[in-house]
Chains A and B, each alone.
Chain A
């Protein structure tokens, strides 16, 4: 579980006459992770595609353009199709339906372009309404130059100065002055420079006839009729999409599958008569691969296992052993978090199991509220039906387990929608004199009780009100304790990983001192707090020893530079308490505001809840809903992000991905979604 699946390096060599059935079988088995041949050996060349590779990829391009027109997105399948049905309907789909879709789409695009140009024309026509000229007066002259546009200052006098023969019309609208200047063509240059001194900016006048208003009206009319034509065409596309969606995705799947099969030999090494495939297969599946391939190729093939020693040599030459994470179904969703960071290398540990253990507990400890926890579960149940792709499902499962822990911690913390919330009303709380007594004894951990059971745990610390001083101190300790365990597990895995890579010095003088330092640093602190000087001295001695070991390690004295970060790693775990406190604080503020400020105030200073007026209660509930909703949204986000950080930064740096991440095992083959097996 903590390790990727064991892999075997295999070589498949066979006669070229059986290449098709072999590829077909490999695709069906989905076992062999092919190592691409790079053409490095002169006696082998890179293989060539087999069969109808070109046709398939052409069909695929055709289909993809149709699906793009239809705006088809990948989705969870509603319906699956047998391959024979896809084959029989493919021609109709690609040609008839395809042509229909293309024509419709192009017509819609043309209509949209036309509407756009007409709208632009209307836009440039509107200001011309202030000038007393019909539209055909603006164009069609040979000896006249026309300038139409806006000017900041009156232009008449200056234009008359450079061109005595002129005709100028002007009018103003919307804080701008519009002018139309007609001058002889040979004066155009001078007039243009004069106009620019007046801040003239030109408008383009559409070549239309009649007066401005009627032209705008007729443009608007034609836009309307074009829109009228567009609507049924769009509906037609939607209908086609609805009718053929799954079939198209199934065809896409079929064609991609076939393309991949026909192009597979590009990854093989070939001679004139034979082919060779290199690859990895999970060790326990080798015999199955061998027997299946041999029967498919009728004996014209040799499937052999490469000895571990020789395989090591290949790895040293730069070949990556693919890693397949191997976790029980409960842990599977947490592979998402591992994968987001890096794929584990073949020799590394797969941290998914550890994430499964620690992540939800941290999530729960931060959120720690029965109300929010139950709400998260309800919301996620609904989202789970909506988002059915595997990635979303995994993410939802991860958060759901966190939600369960939030409910559990909520019971420990005595919170239903924050302290002062529903807990006291449902489960009851201590009497005031009992609270006073507890405070005097310095043992006040909160005022909630578990119904008739009263307070539980040593010194009666549960339900633990996280805002009480004693509880904060207790939780600081708990957070650091979790940190020591979390980092310690990481360090142990780090030591083992380095040993796997044969780096003894790194293991014992780089990884081990970190663990010793962090554990015994905390033991020393614990000794200080508890007043046990033996613990303190023991802690300090081991810390010093670990620092000496670090200096002896591969980094030498430079290793000392890391020491502060080992302390800060541990302090970082305080966020488990801190983020939680922030969310409790907000919930507390909401409850305080509603029950102890808004409701009494609006009820004219009533002190007990029976006297609250209806409007006061409504206003109070409104405040509660809004603030708790905001807190709830934050309450999903930060309890997710911060444990994520604790794993990525504090834990993974101890053992994971130090050598740069691995390659995922992706066997040649295809998981059918829209196609029936």
Chain B
């Protein structure tokens, strides 16, 4: 098994990982919001006073993407073992 020692390659892999973390989390949040959004629109059409609570429910899965983003940020900026390799 070849050991990847090139800092540039490592940095590239890190970036790919960071991108996947945010992107996949985004898809997950989107799938979650899809169902809730449809239901909320239905409810608000009948009962406009429900808008605030509906928004609340709809925004709940958004935290997911922030998790993904947090992982990306850690990968790109904060995880010292990698940061040490990558920083020239």
A residues sitting closer than 8 Å to B (CB atoms) are: 339-342, 469, 472-473, 476, 568, 571-572, 574-575, 578, 641-642, 644-645, 648-649, 652
Q: Mark B74-88, 1 if CB is under 8 A from A, else 0.
A: 000110000000000
Quick one: closest B residue to A661, CB to CB?
Answer: B53
CA distance A642 to B66 in the complex (A): 11
Quick one: closest B residue to A476, CB to CB?
Answer: B73
B51 within 8 A of A: yes
What's the minimum C-beta distance from A643 to chain B, rounded to whole angstroms?
11
Quick one: closest A residue to B58, CB to CB?
Answer: A645
A341 B66 Cβ-Cβ under 8 A: no
What's the minimum C-beta distance from A320 to chain B, rounded to whole angstroms?
15
| 13 residue pairs A–B, Cβ–Cβ below 8 Å | A341-B56, A342-B52, A473-B77, A476-B78, A571-B63, A571-B66, A571-B67, A572-B63, A574-B66, A575-B62, A645-B62, A648-B52, A649-B60
With A341-B52, A568-B63, A652-B56 given, name 15 new contacts (CB 8 A). A339-B52, A340-B55, A472-B73, A473-B78, A572-B66, A574-B70, A641-B59, A642-B62, A644-B55, A645-B56, A645-B59, A648-B52, A648-B59, A649-B56, A649-B59
Number of interface residues of B (CB under 8 A): 16
Across the interface, which residues of B come within 8 angstroms of A645, CB to CB?
55-56, 59, 62
Quick one: closest B residue to A342, CB to CB?
Answer: B52
CA distance A652 to B69 in the complex (A): 24
Quick one: closest B residue to A582, CB to CB?
Answer: B69
Of B52, B59, B60, B78, chain A has the most CB atoms within 10 Å of the CB of: B52
CA distance A473 to B60 in the complex (A): 25
B53 A341 Cβ-Cβ under 8 A: yes
CA distance A476 to B53 in the complex (A): 29
CA distance A469 to B59 in the complex (A): 29
Across the interface, which residues of B come within 8 angstroms of A578, CB to CB?
66, 69, 73
Across the interface, which residues of B come within 8 angstroms of A339, CB to CB?
52
Quick one: closest B residue to A442, CB to CB?
Answer: B87
What's the minimum C-beta distance from B64 to chain A, rounded to whole angstroms?
9
What's the minimum C-beta distance from A371 to chain B, rounded to whole angstroms?
25
CA distance A342 to B52 in the complex (A): 7
Across the interface, which residues of B come within 8 angstroms of A652, CB to CB?
56
Question: Which listed residue, B52, B60, B62, B77, touches A469 by the CB 8 Å rule?
Answer: B77
CA distance A472 to B78 in the complex (A): 9
CA distance A572 to B59 in the complex (A): 11
What's the minimum C-beta distance from B36 to chain A, rounded to whole angstroms?
13
B59 A568 Cβ-Cβ under 8 A: no
What's the minimum C-beta distance from B5 to chain A, rounded to whole angstroms?
23
B78 A571 Cβ-Cβ under 8 A: no
Q: Mark B40-67, 1 if CB is under 8 A from A, else 0.
A: 0000000000011101100110110011
Known: A472-B73, A571-B70, A578-B69. A648 touches B63 (CB 8 A): no
CA distance A341 to B53 in the complex (A): 6
Across the interface, which residues of A come within 8 angstroms of B53, CB to CB?
341-342
Question: Which listed residue, B67, B69, B77, B78, touches A568 by the CB 8 Å rule?
Answer: B67
A648 B55 Cβ-Cβ under 8 A: yes
CA distance A642 to B78 in the complex (A): 24
CA distance A259 to B52 in the complex (A): 32
CA distance A571 to B52 in the complex (A): 23
Quick one: closest B residue to A644, CB to CB?
Answer: B55
A574 B52 Cβ-Cβ under 8 A: no
What's the minimum C-beta distance from B26 to chain A, rounded to whole angstroms?
11
Quick one: closest A residue to B72, CB to CB?
Answer: A578
Across the interface, which residues of A come within 8 angstroms of B63, CB to CB?
568, 571-572, 649
Across the interface, which residues of A come within 8 angstroms of B70, CB to CB?
571, 574
CA distance A641 to B70 in the complex (A): 20
B56 A574 Cβ-Cβ under 8 A: no
CA distance A648 to B57 in the complex (A): 9
Across the interface, which residues of A come within 8 angstroms of B56, CB to CB?
341, 645, 648-649, 652
What's the minimum C-beta distance from A74 to chain B, rounded to whole angstroms?
16
Across the interface, which residues of A come within 8 angstroms of B52, CB to CB?
339-342, 648
Q: Mark B11-34, 1 if CB is under 8 A from A, else 0.
A: 000000000000000000000000
Across the interface, which residues of A come within 8 angstroms of B60, CB to CB?
649
What's the minimum C-beta distance from B58 to chain A, rounded to whole angstroms?
9
Of B56, B59, B67, B69, chain A has the most CB atoms within 10 Å of the CB of: B56
Quick one: closest A residue to B67, CB to CB?
Answer: A571
CA distance A469 to B56 in the complex (A): 33
What's the minimum C-beta distance from B60 to chain A, rounded to whole angstroms?
6
Question: Which listed residue, A340, A472, A574, A644, touches B77 by the CB 8 Å rule?
Answer: A472
CA distance A642 to B60 in the complex (A): 11
